[in-house]
Amino acid sequence: MSDKQHPNYNGKVLSSGEDLGEAPEASIAAIFDMDGTLIDNTPFHYKAWQLLFKKYNMPEPSRETYKGEISGVPIANTVRRYFADADESLIKTISHEKQAFYQQEFLPYLRPITGLENFLAELKDAGVKMAVATSSDMADVDFIFDTIPIRQYFDAIITGDMVSEPKPSPQIFLKAAEQLNARPENCLVFEDSTAGLKAGNDAGMKVVGITTAHPAETVAKAARLVINDYAGMSLQKLAVLFDE
């Protein structure tokens, strides 16, 4: 059955009680983006960019600009794009300032997306290898994982500075698959940004989109399945992605 023929192709939104058939074999691997996928921090990243641009007397980016051009892209790449005259030292300084704004805004609200911890525990118990593949750096990963206790679920963590090509290049997901010793076609990618969704598809992986950054109809254009959160998610409900 082709993707377009599949009854759940192009953005079926899963409800927590829905059953999609037999569970896939535990030889699959799961790769998670972090921002907007493990934690719902998209509004706080946007707020941080607004504060940063204001500090430097620049027009604040619109929400559409943030979602289309900034979300899912390494911070330094965005700084180079909008602060064209900055040298590498200033780029590093501005990047740190952006992260300080973000952590200040987000820390009081930092929590995992609904249902995440139970879902990760089920995958781990089933022997599914898992990785994080994020455009953020390890300091940002530590900021998240030192606050919510989910680090133990992941067998590998790939950050943006470990690859030469940022999303939407599939490089980071392919590197994660390599570290998990998994074939791309046996990998599930969980993503929220348009850049990340494209990267997952271009890596040849099964893409699950979460609606933290974009509405379901937007996510559905690039995801085989669309979810609002992880409540009720299970291996069994992901079986449709491996149904040929």
Q: Catalogue the active-site residues.
A: 33, 35
**Percentage helix, strand, coil for the chain under 3-state DSSP, each rounded to 5:** 45, 10, 45
With contact defined as beta carbons under 8 Å apart, do 196 and 172 qualify?
A: no
Fill in the DSSP letter of residue 103: H
What is the C-alpha separation between 179 and 181, in angstroms, rounded? 5
174: its two tokens:
């392919």
> What would the DSSP string read from start to end of 106-169?
HGGG--BPTTHHHHHHHHHHTT-EEEEE-SS-HHHHHHHHTTSS-GGG-SEEE-GGGSSS-TTS
DSSP code of residue 188:
E
- Extract the runs of DSSP E, i.e. beta strands, from the chain: 12-13, 29-32, 129-133, 156-158, 187-191, 206-210, 225-227
Partners of residue 65 on adjacent β-strands? none
Q: Which two tokens stand for residue 158?
A: 């790939």
**Residue 244 structure tokens:** 């040929």
Give the burial string for 138-149 (b: 16+ CB within 10 Å, else e): eebbebbbeeee
